[in-house]
Amino acid sequence: MPTKNEPSHVLSDHEQVDAIIKRVNRAQGQLGAISRMLEEGRNCDEIVIQMSAVSKAVHTAAFTLIAASLKECIVEDKKNSQAVTEKLQKLFLSLA
C-alpha cells in the first residue's frame, strides 16, 4: 500500500479494468472447481492442470494490469511518470 509521499497509479481505462475483472472472476471459478475436485478425490493430473490454468489466469491479469498502468502513466501522468514506472517495474518483476 502506498504511503502519502509515494507515487501510485489507479487504472482509469474501464475496458482494461473490466477485462482484468473477468480474468479474476474466471480464476475464482477455477479455484472453486479445484476445491471440488480435491473433495471428490479426482485425479491428481486433472487437478494440477486446473491449478496451472488458474495460475496463468492470475499472472495474465497481473501483467495486464501492470502493462495498462504503465501505458497510462507514461501517456497521462508526466509529473510522476518516472517514479510510478519504477514502482510498476518492481511489481512486474515480483511476478517472475
- Number of domains within the chain: 1
Range of the domain at 80: 14-94
Provide the pLDDT for residue 45. Answer: 96
Q: Say whether 58 sits in a helix, a strand or coil.
A: helix
- Flag whether 6 is in a domain: no
The series of mean pLDDT values per 10 residues for the chain, 96 residues long, is: 56 86 94 97 96 93 85 71 77 78
Q: What are phi and psi of 41, to 5 degrees?
A: 70, 35
Provide the pLDDT for residue 1. Answer: 47
Q: Model-level pTM?
A: 0.71
Provide the pLDDT for residue 68. Answer: 84
- Flag whether 23 is in a domain: yes
Provide the pLDDT for residue 33. Answer: 96
* 23 vs 2: CA distance, rounded Å: 25
CATH code of residue 60: 1.20.58.1000
Provide the pLDDT for residue 96. Answer: 67
